[in-house]
Amino acid sequence: MLIKLVKDTNFNEIEKFIKNIEKKGFEVTKNFNDNIKILIITGNTEKIDTDYIESFDFVESVKRIKEPYKKANRKLHPDDTIIDISGVKIGGGNFLVIAGPCSVESEKQIIRIAKKVKEKGASLLRGGAFKPRTSPYSFQGLGKKAIDYLIKAKKETGLGIVTEIMDKSDLKYFDDIDIIQIGARNMQNFSLLKEVGKTKKPILLKRGLSATYEEWLMAAEYIMREGNENVILCERGIRTFENEIRNNLDISAIPVIKKLSHLPIIIDPSHAAGNYKYVQPLSLAATAAGCDGLIIEVHDNPSCALSDGAQSLTPEKFEETLKKVNKIREAIF
Amino acid sequence: MLIKLVKDTNFNEIEKFIKNIEKKGFEVTKNFNDNIKILIITGNTEKIDTDYIESFDFVESVKRIKEPYKKANRKLHPDDTIIDISGVKIGGGNFLVIAGPCSVESEKQIIRIAKKVKEKGASLLRGGAFKPRTSPYSFQGLGKKAIDYLIKAKKETGLGIVTEIMDKSDLKYFDDIDIIQIGARNMQNFSLLKEVGKTKKPILLKRGLSATYEEWLMAAEYIMREGNENVILCERGIRTFENEIRNNLDISAIPVIKKLSHLPIIIDPSHAAGNYKYVQPLSLAATAAGCDGLIIEVHDNPSCALSDGAQSLTPEKFEETLKKVNKIREAIF
Amino acid sequence: MLIKLVKDTNFNEIEKFIKNIEKKGFEVTKNFNDNIKILIITGNTEKIDTDYIESFDFVESVKRIKEPYKKANRKLHPDDTIIDISGVKIGGGNFLVIAGPCSVESEKQIIRIAKKVKEKGASLLRGGAFKPRTSPYSFQGLGKKAIDYLIKAKKETGLGIVTEIMDKSDLKYFDDIDIIQIGARNMQNFSLLKEVGKTKKPILLKRGLSATYEEWLMAAEYIMREGNENVILCERGIRTFENEIRNNLDISAIPVIKKLSHLPIIIDPSHAAGNYKYVQPLSLAATAAGCDGLIIEVHDNPSCALSDGAQSLTPEKFEETLKKVNKIREAIF
Amino acid sequence: MLIKLVKDTNFNEIEKFIKNIEKKGFEVTKNFNDNIKILIITGNTEKIDTDYIESFDFVESVKRIKEPYKKANRKLHPDDTIIDISGVKIGGGNFLVIAGPCSVESEKQIIRIAKKVKEKGASLLRGGAFKPRTSPYSFQGLGKKAIDYLIKAKKETGLGIVTEIMDKSDLKYFDDIDIIQIGARNMQNFSLLKEVGKTKKPILLKRGLSATYEEWLMAAEYIMREGNENVILCERGIRTFENEIRNNLDISAIPVIKKLSHLPIIIDPSHAAGNYKYVQPLSLAATAAGCDGLIIEVHDNPSCALSDGAQSLTPEKFEETLKKVNKIREAIF
């Protein structure tokens, strides 16, 4: 932690401050010259709030030198994390494809689509039961019933299932779910993060619409600190000034997260684009950039979908996309 | 709702689509000429997902013409909402000042600061019990105990109290709280919004870091739709490309929200700035722009605060700020 | 153009307004019902300022339905534009690789690097002569002299050359340049756009850091309107809230621009990333997403580069990247 | 300048690097421990490119500690700059009001409006001659002729005049202009900045739509370094994710710039809002936040304005706004 002091300052106060910090077990180094006065604090500085430091009058600014996340940090865990999801692996070179409709609409619908996405090459089935919708007047998902239908689809096809949790009180319904998804809007719902951190289930942690890489990894840290290190990061587009597409897929997140963390990262091109026309090029781009998997919305009748039909691929288009994804992986990895 | 069709399109399909929409009780008008083909749908279009419309192949783009929020909409409720908080009013010309520390740290601390902010002119006391912190290694608040201390401070001073809820399972502790705060990170925690919507308590709804005005009003709509129309909007800075200050206070939110909605809007200059030096100018700016109140962090020993000390005003500086706020209100309103 | 009128409005005024618009040769359709009042104007509406329309008191809001660009619009020119750059082609399936140092530093340096990038597979040589630098204290480029060195490198290697123009008064030095580059900071330097529009040279038009697709295509329109339709668009990262990398490469720009426009689009992964470590994954992602080419910074001694050394690939790393780029293209196109 | 080194690194290389830096006259301090290895460079570090430092393999990251601007830096020039514009002052407590139409449309129009804004309280007259427009199909300004009309208006009213320059080749027409404006889109047109830096005229430097405070001050530095220290900064709204208004006025810019720099800062509420309805609240907010002046668009017939009519105040509304501005200044300064 680097502290820049204001120009004309009271040295007695600073000495008191330094002693105080040292007493707590940190090391402090002074770099004072005529132009600039700097303190460097080393040790477990993730425990020090920069806000606390900034509140002293003799402090001009504070910058962290060390990342504030530990369990998610690649420096402390150089090897890729590999997560086993009911026999299917992700991370360390294993590529995972999750597909299915935005919402579970009926038992028939989810079983029918599950069979199709399995046939076309998906390893896991997705489907929304509890749906976070911007408008209270939009379809909110079938809830508990949808979870039952997903479990039936799992029995019929053998595909593991992925679905989103919106509130910790619903966790009791997730026993047979293979990956619990935390949505972008809940990325900093810390109560929920702590609760899923107490399970052993793989957690799919979507990046918030305007979350920095550091905030995203700190959200993973919340889960990991409770004992659950099975976190899969998922980039799904960020909010920018551009409105021609719904969100801008942050392709740089792939190499940057791979550098900062050992956790696997997958891409959701469907929510980023908000339009099925862009799903294939974004899937191919993400694959080429080195992501560990994809989560793609597939519906056999997009125009009848109760939500997000505009961004769903047909099973045929999904199959074509997956073939190209595999070709890229064979060509360069 | 305006639908722009693709250039070369199948008219049979469109006629089928139109009939289908009309059957649901909407009115459809066609505007077709050689250059451009447009459909306009009128009626309760907030019930139609634009995603649903976009999923048809003959649709090029969809734009809403009418706002998707109803209960929060100024057009349908032209008069300012006035909310009564245990005898103190906000809205319709009533100005509300909320002050207190970021976190409740002890019974003594909160009672001591409550007395000071009351003496200096605050109408309500704020203090964090459950604290949403980016890092799991930061102080997370005293929780239930802090609520008890707040209630004691209320008894001692008569000030109504404002504190944040982070999870709906904690609602049972909020019986004696006068305003329940929903934090920026939970603005789209829809489970929580619905739950507080079932109470009759005034709700302070902070704007998410990258929430549009429309999304913010839709979050208010979630609360209002459940029967609780006592929603106070709170702008606390948005996330932009600029990093010299923590967030950019969106001053335009004040006149724009006043135009779009009848709900009161207050400003949190402390969280926006993240630095006490900017709290006074931002408070004065917000007052001059016509907001309905301010929520300001005040601590009598900022350097000892367990969180966010850097953004806290001393009681003296708070008093000075409030005097200027009042002078501006006298001068122009 | 869609005009939404305010609720209670004076019909005489509106009728006057409509007649006035019709007199100018536009067609106006009314869609009035109890809930909402809309006018739709059709014709060459790119000639109407939305600002002009919004200035009337009876207007609530205005939205364009038709894109305001014509010459750059795919709808009016369905076929891909193919540009011939001294025998090398781009667009319509032709892929272009431009490489070279950020700045021309000496005759020797540029000739030496030109030979290397040619050997490794580049089709054109880049090198900065006039350098736009954030700081006046940074190296500003060798100017005219650098252009002479570039021309010598061209003679030695046969590679066409690409360099940036910063001011229209320098255009006289660009006679032997094969592609004139307009930098991101000058994307809306309209004087410069008009001037290069009067030449017949291919123009590489970089996207501004926070330019929308529409503004970018309107900048192309400025060039094309003067008679020069040889515009190559170049995405080089946009400004967002994330600061771990210099800019966020907007990968979605590739499929979106391909839909909106017939102009070729290339990607500059070096400036987007600002760090050589991310150049390869971004290059591969861009290729897979379907771009028409890449412009990559290559330096044989990055640590001695006078500018932007941190983002330069070595010739060896450039060769490896290009091999993977070609493998992807063979696999999926 | 703080340099964080990668964990396992070659000490010989680093020693060579340090000697090399020291030879150039900088001071280097080492802070090495088991956890973290840091170098601090002090001296005129604005001359060192962070890119250069980052290009070394043993460097993990680089952060500036000292601001890269000197002449614009408050630390080196603690007193407010006061600029005299033909007898009217700005800075150091002097408040400046500039008003007039977006574009000069005719001699009659500009003289008529000049008289009105003078009567209502403006100190200087604005009016666009060379107009930067997003679309090549929009009105581009009357150019040289408009400058003549402005000069006539100046003679008639005695008001100093402010108008925008778009290209350095037009500088010859600006001899009788009192303040030369650099528009937001040209904030980093470095050729133009250098050229106006060679004059002695006051320069109104608008902030780019997505320019950081540092980039903005570096643009001022370009002008000041050429010898012209009469720079007035102008905030005119930044680009964010919100689209309900044209740009978001960054009110925080006022106190932050006042802290970082000694240059005066004024606010343009008209371009920020893009809608006359928001001009008054934004003007009052900016005044209360402590800006040094306002530049407001005023037109006596907004619906006939050739550009930006929607954001123009009538002379009456301008007068009302100015009265409130003055009341606020009397109340709190």
pLDDT 10s digits, D136-179: 988 899 999 999 999 999 999 999 999 999 999 999 999 999 99
What are B221-230's pLDDT values in tens digits?
A: 999 999 999 9
Contacts of A215 in chain B (CB under 8 A): 134
Distance CA C62, CA C85 (A): 42
Q: How confident is the model at residue B233 (pLDDT cuts 50, 70, 90)?
A: very high
Whether residues B40 and C38 touch (CB distance < 8 A) is answered with: yes
Contacts of D66 in chain A (CB under 8 A): 35-36
**Is the pLDDT at B34 greater than 90, yes or no?**
no
Going by C-alpha positions, the residue among D71, D46, D81, D45 that lies closest to residue D225 is D71
What are A49-60's pLDDT values in tens digits?
A: 888 888 888 998
Q: How confident is the model at residue D44 (pLDDT cuts 50, 70, 90)?
A: confident
What local confidence, expressed as pLDDT, does residue C268 receive? 98
Q: Does D190 touch chain C (CB under 8 A)?
A: yes
- What one-character DSSP code corresponds to residue A142? -
What type of residue is B278? Y
What are D59-107's pLDDT values in tens digits?
A: 988 988 889 999 999 999 999 999 999 899 999 999 999 999 999 999 9
Q: How confident is the model at residue A158 (pLDDT cuts 50, 70, 90)?
A: very high
How far from D323 is each of A165, C88, D162, D283, D327, CA to CA, in Å? 55, 65, 23, 11, 6
Question: Which of B22-31, B196-205, C238-247 is least confident?
Answer: B22-31
Mean pLDDT of B47-73: 88
Going by C-alpha positions, the residue among B311, B238, B304 that lies closest to residue B273 is B311
What are A9-29's pLDDT values in tens digits?
A: 778 889 989 998 999 889 898
Per-residue tokens: C268 = 């500059």
**Is the pLDDT at D56 greater than 90, yes or no?**
no
Residue D333's closest chain B neighbor by CA? Answer: B324
Average model confidence (pLDDT) across chain B:
94
Residue from C60, C137, C303 to probe the interface with D (highest D Cβ count within 10 Å): C137
Whether residues C40 and B38 touch (CB distance < 8 A) is answered with: yes
Going by C-alpha positions, the residue among B231, B203, B195 that lies closest to residue B69 is B231
**Is the pLDDT at A304 greater than 80, yes or no?**
no
Contact B204, B181 (CB under 8 A): yes
Q: Which of C65, C239, C241 sits opposite B38 (nearest CB)?
A: C65
Q: Does D31 touch chain A (CB under 8 A)?
A: yes
Q: Does A225 touch chain B (CB under 8 A)?
A: yes
Report percent pLDDT > 90 for chain D: 78
**CB-based burial, B46-85: b 16+ in 10 Å, e otherwise:** bebbbbbbbbbebbbebeebbbbbbbbbbeeeeebbebeb
**Is the pLDDT at C184 greater than 90, yes or no?**
yes
Chains A & C: contacts with CB separation below 8 Å: 121
Residue A4's closest chain D neighbor by CA? Answer: D65
Report the length, in residues, of chain D.
333
**Is the pLDDT at B159 greater than 90, yes or no?**
yes
What are D194-211's pLDDT values in tens digits?
A: 999 999 999 999 999 999
Instruction: Give the 3-state secondary structure percentages of chain A, helix then strand then coil, rounded to 5.
Output: 40, 20, 40
| Greater model confidence, C304 or C5 | C5
Residue B27's closest chain C neighbor by CA? Answer: C33
Contacts of D36 in chain A (CB under 8 A): 42, 65-66
Q: Does A331 touch chain C (CB under 8 A)?
A: yes
**Is the pLDDT at D125 greater than 90, yes or no?**
yes
Distance CA B275, CA B264 (A): 26
**Is the pLDDT at A61 greater than 80, yes or no?**
yes
Whether residues B282 and D255 touch (CB distance < 8 A) is answered with: yes
What local confidence, expressed as pLDDT, does residue A35 receive? 74
Report percent pLDDT > 70 for chain C: 100
Q: Does A210 touch chain C (CB under 8 A)?
A: yes
Instruction: Give the 3-state secondary structure percentages of chain D, helix then strand then coil, rounded to 5.
Output: 40, 20, 40
Whether residues C63 and B2 touch (CB distance < 8 A) is answered with: yes
Report percent pLDDT > 90 for chain A: 78
What local confidence, expressed as pLDDT, does residue D35 receive? 74
**Is the pLDDT at A84 greater than 80, yes or no?**
yes
Average model confidence (pLDDT) across chain D:
94
Average model confidence (pLDDT) across chain C:
94
Q: How confident is the model at residue D288 (pLDDT cuts 50, 70, 90)?
A: very high
Mean pLDDT of C77-92: 96
Contacts of D40 in chain A (CB under 8 A): 31, 38
What local confidence, expressed as pLDDT, does residue B314 receive? 96
Per-residue tokens: A98 = 């999750």
Q: Does D245 touch chain B (CB under 8 A)?
A: yes
Q: Does B38 touch chain C (CB under 8 A)?
A: yes
Tell me how close the Cα of D264 comes to any Cα of chain A, in angstroms: 22
The interface predicted TM-score of the complex, written ipTM, equals 0.95
Query: What's the pTM?
Result: 0.95
Mean pLDDT of A153-175: 97
Neighbouring chains of C at 3+ CB pairs under 8 Å are A, B, D
Q: How confident is the model at residue D42 (pLDDT cuts 50, 70, 90)?
A: confident
What type of residue is B163? T
**Is the pLDDT at A308 greater than 80, yes or no?**
no
Bridge partners of residue B198, in order along the sequence: none
What local confidence, expressed as pLDDT, does residue B49 receive? 82
What local confidence, expressed as pLDDT, does residue C254 receive? 98
CA Rg value for chain A: 23
Tell me how close the Cα of A117 comes to any Cα of chain D, in angstroms: 35
What local confidence, expressed as pLDDT, does residue A116 receive? 98
Bridge partners of residue A261, in order along the sequence: A73
Q: Does D70 touch chain A (CB under 8 A)?
A: no
Whether residues C281 and A259 touch (CB distance < 8 A) is answered with: no
**Is the pLDDT at D303 greater than 90, yes or no?**
no
| Greater model confidence, A96 or B305 | A96
Whether residues C66 and B42 touch (CB distance < 8 A) is answered with: no
Mean pLDDT of C53-68: 88
Whether residues A65 and D38 touch (CB distance < 8 A) is answered with: yes
Distance CA D261, CA B260 (A): 37
Report percent pLDDT > 70 for chain D: 100
Place of tokens 């605060």: B305
